[in-house]
């Protein structure tokens, strides 16, 4: 057991960030499972997960900055790398799907004919 010595309101803020992040990540994963076709599923990991991970990292940043001496900046780096790489992977997966002519869900507007 590690002892946590910080005021209750700081603990409360950190827990709130962690829980909110976990909730958003859960919704994102739920979307990945239930959205109707490949193209709509692309939206889950690029967005809902960035906020989920972002909130978790803010919680981690606050906790380690308050527990240890000095602020910890590694979490900020993780966020930057995440924001820089998530769109690229989504773009590549989407391109592969287009190349393989995956069908969209019925009712998709302007499905590209290629």
Partner 1 sequence: MISSFRTRQFWLPRPLFSLFLALLWLAMVNDVSVAHALLGLGLGVAIPFTTHAFWPEEAKIKRPLPLLRYLLVLLVDILRSNLVVALRILRPARYLQPGFFVYPLTLDDDFAITILASTISLTPGTVSLHYDAEANTLLVHALHLEDEEEAIATIRERYEQPLEEIFR
Site for partner 1 in 26-45 (CB under 8 A): 27-28, 30-31, 34-37, 39-40, 42-44
Choices 1-9, 10-18, 82-90; region in contact with partner 1 by CB under 8 A:
82-90
Question: 73, 82 in Cβ contact below 8 A?
Answer: no
Distances (CA, A) of 33 to 42, 43, 72, 79, 85: 11, 12, 35, 25, 22
Q: Does 16 help bind partner 1 (rule: CB under 8 A)?
A: no
- For residue 22, the tally of other CB atoms under 10 A from its CB is 14
Q: How far is the CB of 4 from partner 1 (least distance, A)?
A: 21
3-state DSSP assignment of residue 13:
helix
Residues in the site for partner 1, rule: CB under 8 A?
24, 27-28, 30-31, 34-37, 39-40, 42-44, 46-48, 50-51, 72-74, 76-77, 83-84, 86-88, 90-91, 94-95, 97-98, 104-105, 107-112
């Amino acid at each position: 057991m590690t002892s946590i010595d910080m005021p209750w309101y700081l603990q409360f803020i950190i827990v709130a960030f962690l829980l909110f992040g976990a909730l958003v990540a859960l919704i994102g994963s739920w979307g990945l499972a239930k959205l109707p076709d490949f193209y709509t599923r692309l939206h889950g990991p690029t967005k809902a997960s960035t906020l989920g991970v972002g909130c978790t990292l803010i919680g981690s940043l606050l906790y380690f900055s308050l527990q240890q001496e000095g602020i910890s900046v590694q979490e900020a780096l993780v966020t930057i790398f995440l924001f820089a790489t998530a769109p690229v992977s989504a773009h590549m997966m989407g391109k592969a799907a287009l190349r393989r002519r995956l069908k969209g869900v019925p009712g998709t507007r302007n499905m590209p004919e290629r």
